[in-house]
Structure 1
Amino acid sequence: MEGSCPWPVAPVRNPQAAAATPSGILTPSSSEVASLLNSNSHHRPLKICGGGTTSRCAAEAHWTVDLSPKLRQLTVDQQTHRVRFGSGWTMGELQGELAQWGCMVTTGLSGLPGVGFVLTGGMGPLSRSLGLAIDHVQSLSGIWGNGQPFALKRAELSEASAKHSIQQWTALLGAAPFLGVVQEIELRTLHLLPLTVVQGCVDPNRLAELITAAEHFPRGLSLQWCWGEAIEVMLVARCDDPKAVETLSDLTRTIPLNDQRQTTAAGLHQLPAFGSRAFPSTQDLVVHQEVIGLLGPGWGKATPALLQALNAAMANRPHPRCSLSNQQLGGAVADCSSQVTAFRHRDAEWKPWITASWPPDDHNARQAALNWLVRVWEELSPYCPGIHLAQLHDHLPWHGRELEAAFGPWLTPLRQLKQQLDPEAVLPPL
């Protein structure tokens, strides 16, 4: 189970995590995970790694539990429209496998994340029509932080169910990384949905026009953008939604994009790469990064003034790879009650995320980049007061503020649940 080799250099690994020197790398089988979380284990402290895209999937003087090599089971049930798979799969691998069966699940803009993508919410270009990935979860099994197993099924939860089971299920859907290690997950599948994708670049004024228009989009159409050296835009429309296709066609005539390209995808597994055109001259730079995701309602009439302020912030970023991106939510995300998952921000229309970048081993540049991130956060916080905890920052001074903004009044019950299920705080702190 243990390995003495250095952290593998692979495209799915976060560069900052890859540069860390962990105490060791553990690649447990499903039956071995419990022993690592057990109080008698000498492997402390731990970091859990699935897709390997976060900055804290490995850290100095920590043992890395890498789920990717051995938790690779996968079963597709076409009769019940379900897929059950182990935590070693990335979302891109999963979509590629499901496409062979003519089906898909709802995933995000990148195929690199692992099951943490689902367990922290799961937002993507089809969230407006399909909801969040956690809304499609049918069952979860794994090990709590105290070493005890769990196996919960949506179909078995009702008013007659034990209150603690319902609370555990609700907590896992949005706050799982703090409570346990999910080893297997079952999702509802969908038939492949053909998509029309339009990509191009815009200036800040035209971006403001797009954002204003997007807040009136039909559910089958969504806007994503990435602002680095340039502002790259991606519009994704479901081909089975005539109103979405018509709106997209009208929009690209009234607000044309520079270097506009249109493609058709058979499903999310063929979604074009996004973000590279925002960094035409710096894409290949090796950098370390921290990312914070925000959540908030529509910006409405405040959009032009906010974009002016963000334009000034982008002009003063300390490194060319510092960036600001955004993903549209709304629609079906709000159809699910905020009481049935730990993801509380069901009213969110936008999920902007701020990326601080700096050269490896440059402490001063790191601090400058993090200071810039906080300044942009302050600029956006009146409009996007919520937090999406896709990345954990328990090593940074604003972790407590993040938790409050992510979970709000449900943070206290979550902490009580963690005290029961992870009393020795083996997993990240709440």
Structure 2
Amino acid sequence: MGNPSIDRLRERVRGPVVTPGSDAYDRARTVRNAMIDKRPAAVVHCADTGDVRAVVDFARDTGVDLAVRGGGHSVPGFGTCDGGVVADLSAMRTVRVDPAARTALAEGGATWGDFDAATHAFGLATTGGIISTTGVGGLTLGGGIGYLSRGLGLSCDNLVSADVVTADGDLVVASGKEHDDLFWALRGGGGNFGVVTSFRFRLAPLTDVYGGLMLYEPDDAVTVLRAYREAISAAPDRLGAFPAFQIAPPLPFIPEDRHGDLFIAVVACWAGPPGEGERALRPFRDAAPVVAEHVGPMPYPAMNSLFDALTPPGLQHYWKAAFATELTDEAIAAHVAHAPGLPAVNSTVHIYPIDGACHRVAPDATAFAYRDASFAAVIAGMWPDATANEANVAWVRDYFDAIAPHSQEGGYVNFMAGDDQSRIRANYRGNYDRLVEVKRAYDPGNLFHLNQNIRPEGVSHP
């Protein structure tokens, strides 16, 4: 027997509506984090903004949960739900570049791989993430830390405007000139305020970069982290680099007898004049003996996809995040003590620099409040075996507890776990109350609550 409400939804949309019992249902309901196993009543593969409006209207009018999925990388699995409806934007992936204006318009389902391919053809780029399969939308709405952050700012700092379907089904354009309160909130406030069906970004000239990764013995971790701390604070903004703890995958540039061993790494991306790249990376190369490396000139899209193979769909995910003003000796000691517990080659710990251009934006200029933070650490627990979940989740939590005393109160919302809702006020600091006001203006009923949720007063959801 059909569902009359779902049947009416089918009549309003152009894209496929996938429901339980369909051969395509299991694939449609699946997100990248295999720890998440939910069964929505319908998944709508939106073909255009009109479809998005129809799904929003359906969820609001029927009172069911609404999940919005772009790239599907949400670690807590916010791109799906039980018994509700999913607005899947993955068919909306067009990226249009205006080389004269140095801008690009990306639809809400585009990935950074889509974006980089389109803009690279014109010798242009903006700050993306670290994995090319990440959705443009999710990364930008949470802030957007990437290789180019120190030189160009966060992804959200390069956002010029956004087309947004609000909770009442209206389509509005948010920019510095119209709906500027919404535009402010979108730049770091997550998916709390509507469905962004397209993003317009400012671009900068960039074709090739000089970079890659260098691996050092774990016994040199303290030395490397201290050297990194000093080097990055003095480095030109065009250098993006971060330390990482990584189990060596079976790659040809790593000695075969070291595959599976733990290393401390530095991942670097020089976006300045190519001839200056080797000199820019020299402080990292001199920090300690390099066991193996894959460093050289490469197209920026190649740099932005170096780690894609380590993060395939279907892994178990549990992450924690923290901001810090300094990478103190005490924090370094905590990292060195807990990193050897990395549960799988897919897992990693990154310590991203967010100084440079990120610091030249006022903390209240966008919703992203931590403009005094110099580092964003992420403990990215990823592993293939579900039977190891309890032990590996405990490792992530213990690791986070160890660095928390040396960190700021809040963390990067894009790296938060599903059990981090209690940190939401801390994540936005003094911007939180203003975000609540914007939420009340655009989503007073909290339709968009499957996220790191900013609740309007008097409304709560599970």
* TM-score range relative to shorter protein: 0.7 to 0.9
User: 1:35 maps to what in 2?
Assistant: 54
Is structure 2 residue 315 aligned with structure 1 residue 287? yes
User: 1:389 maps to what in 2?
Assistant: 413
Q: TM-score, normalised by structure 2?
A: 0.79
C-alpha displacement of 1:417: 2.3
User: 1:161 maps to what in 2?
Assistant: none
**Amino acid across the alignment from 1:370:** V
Of 163, 171, 189 in structure 2, the residue corresponding to residue 175 of structure 1 is 189
Cα distance per residue 1:65-87 (max 9 Å; x no partner): 10011x23433212211111211
Of 343, 352, 367 in structure 2, the residue corresponding to residue 327 of structure 1 is 352
User: 2:12 maps to what in 1?
Assistant: none
Between stretches 411-420 and 165-174, larger displacement belongs to 411-420
C-alpha displacement of 1:187: 0.5
Q: TM-score, normalised by structure 1?
A: 0.85
User: 1:98 maps to what in 2?
Assistant: 119
Is structure 2 residue 74 aligned with structure 1 residue 54? yes
Cα distance per residue 1:338-397 (max 9 Å; x no partner): 1110000112211110123465654xx43443333232222222333131111454x42x
After superposition, the Cα gap between the structure-2 partners of 1:247 and 1:76, relative to the gap in structure 1 and judged at 3 Å, is closer
User: 1:372 maps to what in 2?
Assistant: 395
User: 1:2 maps to what in 2?
Assistant: 17
**Amino acid across the alignment from 2:445:** E
Q: Secondary structure at the match of 2:296?
A: strand
User: 1:222 maps to what in 2?
Assistant: 240
CA distance, structure 1, for counterparts of residue 402 and residue 416 of structure 2: 21
| Amino-acid identity (%) | 18
User: For the Cα contact (< 8 Å) 1:7–1:18, is it kept in 2?
Assistant: no
**Amino acid across the alignment from 2:407:** C
After superposition, the Cα gap between the structure-2 partners of 1:205 and 1:14, relative to the gap in structure 1 and judged at 3 Å, is same
Is structure 2 residue 193 aligned with structure 1 residue 166? no
C-alpha displacement of 1:16: 2.1
CA distance, structure 1, for counterparts of residue 209 and residue 82 of structure 2: 43
After superposition, the Cα gap between the structure-2 partners of 1:252 and 1:360, relative to the gap in structure 1 and judged at 3 Å, is closer
After superposition, the Cα gap between the structure-2 partners of 1:63 and 1:290, relative to the gap in structure 1 and judged at 3 Å, is farther
After superposition, the Cα gap between the structure-2 partners of 1:270 and 1:198, relative to the gap in structure 1 and judged at 3 Å, is closer
After superposition, the Cα gap between the structure-2 partners of 1:17 and 1:376, relative to the gap in structure 1 and judged at 3 Å, is closer
C-alpha displacement of 1:270: 4.4
Between stretches 234-243 and 54-63, larger displacement belongs to 234-243
After superposition, the Cα gap between the structure-2 partners of 1:225 and 1:22, relative to the gap in structure 1 and judged at 3 Å, is farther
Of 193, 199, 207 in structure 1, the residue corresponding to residue 224 of structure 2 is 207
User: 2:361 maps to what in 1?
Assistant: 336
CA distance, structure 1, for counterparts of residue 305 and residue 434 of structure 2: 41
Q: Secondary structure at the match of 1:92?
A: helix
CA distance, structure 1, for counterparts of residue 434 and residue 305 of structure 2: 41
After superposition, the Cα gap between the structure-2 partners of 1:62 and 1:314, relative to the gap in structure 1 and judged at 3 Å, is farther
Cα distance per residue 1:279-311 (max 9 Å; x no partner): 8xxx88963112233222122xx23x3222222
CA distance, structure 2, for counterparts of residue 45 and residue 321 of structure 1: 32
CA distance, structure 2, for counterparts of residue 102 and residue 285 of structure 1: 30
User: 1:234 maps to what in 2?
Assistant: 267
CA distance, structure 1, for counterparts of residue 242 and residue 432 of structure 2: 30
User: 2:200 maps to what in 1?
Assistant: 186
After superposition, the Cα gap between the structure-2 partners of 1:142 and 1:284, relative to the gap in structure 1 and judged at 3 Å, is closer
CA distance, structure 2, for counterparts of residue 191 and residue 235 of structure 1: 19
User: For the Cα contact (< 8 Å) 1:194–1:240, is it kept in 2?
Assistant: no
CA distance, structure 1, for counterparts of residue 319 and residue 433 of structure 2: 25
User: For the Cα contact (< 8 Å) 2:139–2:414, is it kept in 1?
Assistant: yes
**Amino acid across the alignment from 2:227:** L
Is structure 2 residue 288 aligned with structure 1 residue 255? yes
CA distance, structure 2, for counterparts of residue 262 and residue 340 of structure 1: 36
After superposition, the Cα gap between the structure-2 partners of 1:216 and 1:241, relative to the gap in structure 1 and judged at 3 Å, is farther
Cα distance per residue 1:401-423 (max 9 Å; x no partner): 2x122101222222232223222
User: For the Cα contact (< 8 Å) 1:294–1:388, is it kept in 2?
Assistant: yes
CA distance, structure 1, for counterparts of residue 240 and residue 110 of structure 2: 26
How big is the alpha-carbon RMSD for the aligned residues of Structure 1 and Structure 2?
2.9
Q: Secondary structure at the match of 1:58?
A: coil
User: For the Cα contact (< 8 Å) 1:193–1:240, is it kept in 2?
Assistant: no
C-alpha displacement of 1:427: 1.2
Structure 1: segments with no counterpart, 5+ residues: 158-164
User: 1:23 maps to what in 2?
Assistant: 41
User: 1:307 maps to what in 2?
Assistant: 332
Aligned residues: 407
Between stretches 125-134 and 35-44, larger displacement belongs to 35-44
C-alpha displacement of 1:90: 0.5
CA distance, structure 1, for counterparts of residue 372 and residue 288 of structure 2: 27
CA distance, structure 1, for counterparts of residue 83 and residue 49 of structure 2: 24
User: 2:430 maps to what in 1?
Assistant: 409
User: For the Cα contact (< 8 Å) 1:217–1:244, is it kept in 2?
Assistant: no
C-alpha displacement of 1:188: 0.9
